Structure 1
Amino acid sequence: MPFARLATATTPTCRIGLGLAAVGRPGYINLGRDRDLGEDRSAETLRTRTHALLDAAYAQGVRYVDAARSYGRSEEFLADWLAAHPGRDDVVIGSKWGYTYTAGWSVDAETHEVKDHSPAAYDRQRAETDALLGDRLDLYQIHSVTPDSPALTDKDLHARLAEAADRGLTVGFSTSGPAQADTIRAALAVTVGGKPLFRTVQSTYNLLETSAGPALAEAHDAGLTVIVKEGMANGRLAGPHAPDALKSVAAATGLGCDAVALGWILRRPWAGVVLSGAATVEQLLSNLHAPAVGLDAEQLTRLATLREEPGAYWERRRQLPWH
């Protein structure tokens, strides 16, 4: 089975992983960050917050943690936590390369990250990740592949990734944008030496953006482990920002909008791991109620009305401010 450590680490009652995008840097596009993080966004404050989230997640059975080179100092914070807990070798670690963090620890930077899927970028960022995570890294993913990405066709890059896979590293990719399905299908066709290169796919999928679903099912059927990101639509499905239909269904279940939104994703048979992007321990604990969510046919029909056209969804996401 691909990505055997992740398959072993997850259970029917804990298929939730913890993503560090919201806490590895002072600025991000999630709604509600002023309330969640407050004014003190120093590196040490966010390091402490990250460690508290990791402690709470581990105590609740979460065993997959997802970072990236572009998530500020997320790999560093994670490496510090792993070093402080040497017995927690059951935690499966994934990270991503392909974007460089350029905000200089500022919320108001003109550019927060720069995309580069070249072999040179891979070599540089792989060395940076290795310096922090070393042999604790289980999964290395190409960050936010789109149909026009050279990562889908660059044979030199494919050779580098295949060599890493031969040495035991799982190689995957993540997707973004309205053409996620096209990207997934193109990536499934990438082979090296007659063998599929990618063993995991991480894509945006939520109540508002479902267009990648059929392609993710195909990836699952092809043997890839599917990781779902942005299940809360960057905060659009949480708390005060949630649409009325979601609020009413959540009220009927007695759980939060976040748990219902993530629980809805967990109903997909192809969804291997669903990421929580919690910025507080309270949010994380609420997210972890997702496996307990039960939805009847009428509730599922009401939630289906929330679906947006992919182009509109991604344009709305593009306009979310870094704050």
Structure 2
Amino acid sequence: MEYRYLGGSGFQVPVLGLGTATFGGGTAFFRAWGETGVEGATRLVDIALEAGANLFDSADSYSDGLAEEILGKAIAGRRERVLISTKATFRTGPGPNDVGSSRHHLIAACEASLRRLGTDYIDLWQMHAFDARTPVEETLRALQDLVQAGKVRYVGCSNFSGWQLMKSLATADRHGWPRYVAHQAYYSLLAREYEWELMPLALDQKVGTVVWSPLSGGRLSGKIGRDRPAPAGSRTAALGGMGPEVPAEHLYAIVEALEAIAAETGRSVSQVALNWVLRRPSVAVAVIGARDEAQLRDNLGAADFALSDEQVARLDAASTRAPIYPYWHQRATFVERNPPAVPMPSVVPER
């Protein structure tokens, strides 16, 4: 398993990590993801560790904390072999302070996650979303205190916009507080908006990208295509794909390009889609999910090969969409001074 430095830090992470949203099934929403219990989770952890994928990603909001609790039991006795990534900010109770990134909520949330995980420190703790009601200084100072106390090793964020991340980084720099070394974000062949601003920001500010849903909620798993609806009982059938709906023809064009390259390489469609993500600038790790051992083993195989430049270019062409303003304008009028993070075919509208 390849390891990469996470952003500008000295912390190395595997290119594939196992997500735990399928652990527990403690709510109706998460039951559609999976209902893996302690025994099944322990087996998945075993397989991931055998492959060198020793980062496990969770959140206190997954099944109301049950996912963290199951992960803690699955890694019991081998804490030194694993890296734990988890998140806070989403609502965890009915009270007015049971949500957000205030000092009050973050300290309580960190202590609760540590108890559920059965550990005394978290390797990477991420703000699950931006809290515009709490001053950035309050959030970052609370993180500074938790890092200083040894309860958190590195801090990151998730689902931030460009200005939210840049304001947080600038504030941390001004006060000498820990910077976000990671941005966990939605990114895939079907969702390339991350490339427009957040990826250039990540490269400029040395923030590692931790990709969530690199298969866009199963739409790029190979199970869905033209005349192939989502299988009954799947998460995609129950909840739909991640993110906003995309034109059906756009999805089919991507899937058909994936299928062609999968046939050329002798790999699965999901492996090709994941390998494309791993080749993108700023990406440190892609978080994969699995309901069972076969799915996990297949996804882990995405790190065992490399797509050719020509194959990557074909996937780029099949998945490219015209960017929104001001990104199309920058590419159309001043690209020599505003180069995109990755080369893209010309799909900008007429000026």
Q: Deviations over 1:233-264 (max 9, x none)?
A: 11111121252222222222211111111100
Structure 1 unmatched runs, 5+? 104-113, 312-323
Q: Which residue of 1 aligns with 2:238?
A: none
Q: Percent identity of the aligned residues?
A: 28
Where do residues 1-323 of structure 1 align in structure 2 (5 Å cutoff)? Answer: 4=10, 6-7=11-12, 9-10=13-14, 15-26=15-26, 37=34, 41=35, 46-72=37-63, 73-83=66-76, 86-100=77-91, 116-133=100-117, 134-145=119-130, 149-150=132-133, 153-168=135-150, 169=152, 170-175=154-159, 180-191=161-172, 193-195=175-177, 197-213=179-195, 214-241=197-224, 243-304=255-316, 305-307=318-320
- Contact conserved, 1:172 with 1:199, CA < 8 A, in 2? yes
Q: Distance in 1 between matches of 2:274 and 2:290?
A: 12
Q: Distance in 2 between matches of 1:292 and 1:29?
A: 33
Relative distance call for 1:132 and 1:182 in structure 2 (3 A) is: same
- Contact conserved, 1:19 with 1:65, CA < 8 A, in 2? yes
Q: Distance in 2 between matches of 1:233 and 1:291?
A: 18
Deviation at 1:47, TM superposition (A): 2.6
Higher gyration radius (CA): 2
Aligned AA (1:20): T
- Contact conserved, 2:155 with 2:181, CA < 8 A, in 1? yes
Deviation at 1:197, TM superposition (A): 3.0
Relative distance call for 1:26 and 1:129 in structure 2 (3 A) is: closer
Q: Distance in 2 between matches of 1:296 and 1:246?
A: 13
Aligned AA (1:306): S
Q: Distance in 1 between matches of 2:220 and 2:29?
A: 14
Q: Distance in 2 between matches of 1:52 and 1:218?
A: 38
Structure 2 unmatched runs, 5+? 226-254, 325-351
TM-score of the aligned structures, taking structure 1 as reference length: 0.75
Number of residue-to-residue matches in the alignment: 278
Larger relative contact order (CA 8 Å, sep ≥ 6): 1
- Contact conserved, 1:184 with 1:216, CA < 8 A, in 2? no
Structure 1 vs Structure 2 CA RMSD? 3.0
Deviation at 1:120, TM superposition (A): 2.7
Relative distance call for 1:115 and 1:260 in structure 2 (3 A) is: farther
